[in-house]
Amino acid sequence: MEKKTKIVATIGPSSEKKETLREMIKNGMNVARLNFSHGDYSSHKAVIENIRDLSKELGESIGIMADLQGPRIRTSVENEIEIKKGEKVIISDISKNPESQSAGWRTNFKSFYLDCPGIIQDIEIGNTILIEDGLLSVKVIEKNSEFLKAEVIDAGIIKDEKGVNIPDAKLKIPPITEKDEKDLEFSLKNEVDFVAMSFVSNAKDIEDLRNKIKKILGHEPARNASHSDAGGNNLPQIVAKIERKEAIENLDEIIEATDAVMVARGDLGIEINETKVAILQKEIIAKSINSLKPVIVATEMLSSMIQNPRPTRAEVSDVTNAVIDHTDAVMLSGESANGKYPAETVKTMAEIIANTEESPYDDICNFNIRQELSNEYVNFIKNSCSLLANSNAKAVAILSRGGFTARVISHFRPIQMILVGTNNEKTYYQSSLVWGIKASLLKNGKIDEVIEYLLKKAQNDKLLETGDKVVIIGKNDDRKHRFVNIREIQ
């Protein structure tokens, strides 16, 4: 039995060669992530071409995700500055002229810049500024039109170009930077399947990105495939990265607006008390599944394997816990992008997933589809899944142009394989992120003929054998009548 939880692997210097990518796919990689915080267009393009070639060669629906960098805030200092607990420091942004400093604030205090023009106006007295993953922190105690005075809470050395988080500030920084727009154009030109958006704050951020995608592609979608199989979906799906405190406050509206969700635990663990991240992970997963949106758990899942051939016991437990939470996918970052063992890391993660899914602890699933998404068709699929659960079938087989039916079945996390046939190439690749789905790209034809081909292909792929029973869910050729039946493989 194949694993059902998908693996997203970040591609970088350690894994961009075609032979390494082939081995990673064979070991269980389902989605290749391109991190646009690193690399150049030539290397990204080569990876995209290699993944598409290998997907066809190996008969696997390997999705491609472009992860936009987003508006990162960083420190700007000419020389490193040591700050001590209780000491006062002055903070300004790089648009301010040092010669115009008012009230002589910087005369008697150490100072540093933030590299985002105008950001001082968005920061209030009482806000905490976290530097370098929260290793250093200062609290704002005074403010004027150009500068902040802050007291050092956690001491250390401020270095140039280190990341900054300001959890309580309502930042007005545009969520899509000029660099993001260029990266987005490149990604759409090369037909990626997913676009991940960093530092999402609210639903409007998602809609802004969606509008930019439509504008660049020069067309409107027929109908959002989140709600129907009728027209299919030829746009990349948006993955909202939940990594800001403000995103947690607006979680419900973000999930409703996006196509998929990522629990980006790195920055989230800085912006929110890190002791709450595991609980938030469970909440985000549950809400995403109830909204029929694929969800990914990311950050430091097997990070020790960047250097070591084996994970720590705690890392194994972390991946296991995410699988038991019923996440659609788990993600590798530095482990596969620049670690020593990219293919081995994918294999290790796949083994953890498989062992967990075989255990009884993975079988507890009490998710409810949001009331707004329930309708006659969804209830038909729900009842069909009840038949599936009470049968001795090995698989369920469906045809799904836009992917909606497949996501509804996946929502119920059946123990059987979910075989999905589609004639939509974008749906084929985007199914790579949905729990349990094994997709095949098929040609048009009569329903019985296409289903027969899907089942025969599953036999050839050694997923099914003679005597196995399969539950078939679908619509007749006139698309007016639904049916569900059980077929035995001959």
List the one residue out of 324, 199, 32, 93 whose CA is nearest residue 101. Answer: 93
* 122: DSSP letter: G
75 assigned to active site: no
First-to-last C-alpha distance (Å) of the chain:
20
How far is the C-alpha of 52 from the C-alpha of 260, rounded, in Å? 22
370 assigned to active site: no
Point out the catalytic residue in the list 5, 10, 75, 299: 299
How far is the C-alpha of 255 from the C-alpha of 375, rounded, in Å? 19
* 64: DSSP letter: E
Point out the catalytic residue in the list 241, 401, 413, 438: 241
74 assigned to active site: yes
Point out the catalytic residue in the list 4, 6, 22, 33: 33
| Contact between 346 and 24 (Cβ < 8 Å) | yes
Partner residues linked to 397 by β-bridges: 419, 472
How far is the C-alpha of 357 from the C-alpha of 198, rounded, in Å? 30
| HSE, side-chain direction, 13 A CA sphere, residue 260 | 28
List the one residue out of 380, 465, 367 whose CA is nearest residue 414. Answer: 367
Tokens of 307: 């250097």
Please enumerate in sequence order all residues whose Cβ is within 8 A of that of 453, keeping only pairs 6 or more positions apart, or say none: 421, 442, 445
List the one residue out of 62, 88, 92, 65 whose CA is nearest residue 77. Answer: 92
| HSE, side-chain direction, 13 A CA sphere, residue 451 | 24
CB atoms within 10 A of CB 78: 8
Element (H, E) at 473: strand 469-475
C-alpha gyration radius of the chain: 24
* 227: DSSP letter: S
CB atoms within 10 A of CB 437: 26
How far is the C-alpha of 458 from the C-alpha of 17, rounded, in Å? 30
Farthest-apart Cα atoms in the chain, separation = 87
Point out the catalytic residue in the list 74, 110, 179, 282: 74
241 assigned to active site: yes
Q: Hey, which residues are catalytic here?
A: 33, 74, 241, 299
